[in-house]
Amino acid sequence: MVNQLVLFADWTTWAKPLWVVALGAIAGVAILYVTLLILRLLLPRLSAICWGTAKEALSQPLFYVLLAFGAFAILFSSIIPYYTFGEDVKMVKELGLTIIMILSIILAVWTASVSVSEEIEGRTALTVLSKPIRRWHFILGKFAGILVPVALMFIILGALFLGTVSFKVVYDARESSQPEPSWQQCAMEMDKIVPGLSLAFMEAVVMASISVAISTRLAMLPNLVICGSIYALGHLVPTLVNSAVGQFEFVPFVANLLATILPMLDHFTIYGAISTGGLVSWQYVGWAGLYSFLYSILAMLVALLLFEDRDLA
């Protein structure tokens, strides 16, 4: 306990690169705010739906409960022993990315269910659409509004996570009586997980788009069950395709069908790179971003088709 207090008091190493993290978090919030302002200028009706959805999501206790739980879990992960013989930093990285991604997906799916499904069932959507607002304004505005609290959660927990990784590098060195690392080494370890945070956000965007599409027809509980199933199968699709090789024709047909329809969520995980200590290239992140963008557009088109002939009365 004394060693931990001394480590927290010594800010000369692990806290030195955190000013970059603080600037990045401020820049992220500023970019998000400017994006919303531009949306308000270009598409004021869609922006009105977006602002209303974002304010409603941020006023819900669930956002702050998930945020508090994520902050506690990330901080606690830096001081618990993993008994990995010098690989504790990799465990912290993998655990932190998983926590942020899962909590953001839960927030996105829950918000979509409440904001879209309950408004349709409660006739609130009928009141909104009685004004000069089209149905595509409603769907796209809801989707954009759902992404606002998700992005804020990523910015807050992501900044905290980066600081935790920097702290863990020095903490492990002192616990194992190794030479104290430099702040450049702490910064290098943080740089390795920035692409992972970007990929995790892309996965949350894909799941949010799917949840919005499902919410146009189904209530909250079926939406949560279906999204949970899609999340699980989306990570298992590559394994299913590889395991179906050489089997009966029906087995590879089903596996390839699932691979075509379901999102390949396994593309957004970097656990392999974390376990080998490698660095994910930004070219890969760019291609994953393009895939996330195209799949989200496809999900929004499906949502518009499902919502276009929905009887709101």
C-beta atoms surrounding 305 within 10 Å: 11
Instruction: Compute the distance between CA of residue 115 and CA of residue 221 in angstroms, rounded to an integer.
Output: 14
Please give the average per-residue pLDDT across 141-168, as a whole number. Answer: 90
Please give the average per-residue pLDDT across 289-295, as a whole number. Answer: 93
Model pTM? 0.86
For residue 300, name the pLDDT band (cuts at 50, 70, 90). very high
Instruction: Compute the distance between CA of residue 8 and CA of residue 14 in angstroms, rounded to an integer.
Output: 9
Given a cut of 60, whether residue 6 has pLDDT beyond it is: no
Question: Helix crossing, 44-59 with 135-175: angle to 10°?
Answer: 50
pLDDT, position 284: 87
At a CB cut-off of 8 Å and minimum separation 6, what does 120 contact?
Answer: 215, 216, 310, 312
Residue 188 near residue 171, CB atoms below 8 Å: no
Going from the C-alpha of 154 to that of each of 67, 150, 183, 251, 270, the distances in angstroms are 10, 6, 24, 38, 17
Q: Which tokens in the block code for residue 170?
A: 């020095």
Q: Which tokens in the block code for residue 232?
A: 């699980």
Given a cut of 60, whether residue 210 has pLDDT beyond it is: yes
Given a cut of 90, whether residue 296 has pLDDT beyond it is: yes
Q: Which range among 103-107, 165-169, 235-239 has the greatest average pLDDT?
A: 103-107
Q: What percent of the chain has pLDDT over 70?
A: 80
Residue 212 near residue 299, CB atoms below 8 Å: yes
Given a cut of 70, whether residue 129 has pLDDT beyond it is: no
Q: Which of these, 20, 38, 68, lies nearest to 166 by C-alpha position?
A: 20
177 residue type, one letter:
S
Q: Which range among 16-20, 131-135, 151-155 has the greatest average pLDDT?
A: 151-155
pLDDT digits (tens, 9 = 90+) for 216-228: 888 888 888 898 8
